Structure 1
Amino acid sequence: MAQGRLRCGCSHRKTTLLVCSINIVIALYVLRFLYSSLYIYTGNVSRNIVNYTPDQIRKMEESIRIRRAFEPLKLVKLVKELEEELSRGEVVVELSRPLKQKITDEILERLRSLDAGANVTEQREAVERWRREKLEVAKQLTFERGTLNSTIPHEEGGMLVRALESDWALLSEEIGLWMAAEVINKEHDDKPEGEEELEDQILPGRPIPPECHAELHADYSGAAVRWGLTHHKESAADCCQACLDHAKLAKPGEKRCNIWVYCPSETGCHSPDIYEHKHQECWLKYAEKPKLNFKDKYTESYRNSHPTAPLVVPWVSGVVSS
């Protein structure tokens, strides 16, 4: 019986020692794992650290010093002072309701005193005169207390001066004073300086018949059958009639007039030839296929090579059936 108890006690101690040994082994294994992880982490951190040389550190300190030296301290100070001044100037002047009503009544009374047909400009001038007069009264009330018999309280005199001067637009909006801007229709001349306009020219003399096919500001080329230097007509219609008559009276084999060119300008007409073409010249020409020399305006390149040429072609021409 005693031996059985002894064996049982020995077995219990062995089991306890075995369990403790296993726990110690596990604890040592865990400690070893934690230590190895810490070693790896510290190794990585040490590898990521940048080591600067003394020369690099000196250059960085010098850069910081230069940057601080060039900071616009005066400009920053001025900006802050300006912001403070603007913030002080943004104080809104608030007049009392009775004073606003009084201002409105006085402006309406001034507008009613105008003529019934007063335009917007006259109304604006009347309101501006009232504003200047009221501003003068308010200034005197502010600086000469007790010397004026005014219905405006002295305490509100300074605010009224401010409202009528710098805050007049805001005050006008608050009291509902709105006046439409006067629209002035002014003809705008966008024609370049020195440039002549192509207008419907009124030719002197009798009307030109439809069969003349007259073209203003046109100069046709062709062989001259009658020189205009010595052939003058009173009107373009007469010049066209001369061309029609020439075509009827031409002999067989002769060139029949089918183009007429007339100079209606009293100052003469320009041409690139050597002659001076005068008023009422009538040129009679022939061309199998009539072709324009110039139409409406002379080109810029042409005027550059012919400085005396005008901008607009002065001739009147027409092509008729021969």
Structure 2
Amino acid sequence: MARGVKWGCSYKRSTLIVCSINIVVALYVLRSLYASLYLYSNSDFNKVVKYTPDQVRKMEESIRIRRAKEPLELVKIVKELKEEFNRGEMVAGLPKEVTGRITDEILQRLRSLNANANISEQRDAIESWRKEKLQEVKQLVHGTGGLNSSILKQEAGMLERALESDWAVLSENIGLWVPAEIIHQEHNDKPEGEEDPEEEVLPGRPLSPECHAELHTDYGGVAVRWGLTHHKESAADCCQACLDQAKYAKPGEKKCNIWVYCPSETGCYSPDIYQHKNQECWLKHAEKPKLNFKDKYSDSFRDSHPNAPLIVPWVSGVVSA
């Protein structure tokens, strides 16, 4: 009986001792693993962030060289083009949709005239439309307009300013570049067979006869000088640039025989992705010069290009290369 009691006490004590040892060993192992992980992470961190002054200088020099090689001007131009396309053009403070409606209304008024209507009658029709539209806009601004008006109230203020103080800018942007007309003519001493002089006056010095200038004309051809980055003070200077390029062209190089110039202060329309500005001078070459556009844009063209103005804004000439 005494031996049995002694054996039971010894078994329990042994079990407790073994369990205690296992717990101590497990805690020691966990502590060792945590400490090693902490030291390893700290050592890696120190290896990553610690650089010598010479290494830092070399990295800064590398970044500077890489930035210097970036086409910053090209990126800037592309960004500006994207912003322009995203927000849409503003003509005399008006959105494209509004100017498009104005152009359509003026075009409809001009179509209602006789086929033989002269410039004075066209001007009277346009001025009559402007006065009617301005009266309608003012009524809306002052709250006396009718419910049948097609103009939104938030557009009325902008339209009033555009039709009144900014009418010259607006009319030129939508293509109303109407040539001047001689109203008073006491006598006509022009010899028989002599052509009438040009009624429009281009800015700058006069063009020489060899330029063969044609108003409201756009010729096609292969560009030998890109007009977006080639500006001249006048159409005469643009023509002279074409003559000089043909004169000093290298063997095998295409010679300029067509010049195309934008005389409009608000830019010139063209059915491409670029925004053509005043004084652009395009030098072109073509074996057989062919017209792109002449005088007015056709109705079919305006139907497919609603932003096109009524009249071709470019001036061009074909010279002998």
Instruction: Indicate the TM-score class for this superposition, using the shorter chain for normalisation.
Output: 0.3 to 0.5
TM score, norm. by length of structure 2: 0.41
TM score, norm. by length of structure 1: 0.40
Choose 1 or 2 for highest CA Rg. Answer: 1
**Greater relative contact order, per chain length (Cα 8 Å cut-off, separation 6+):** 2
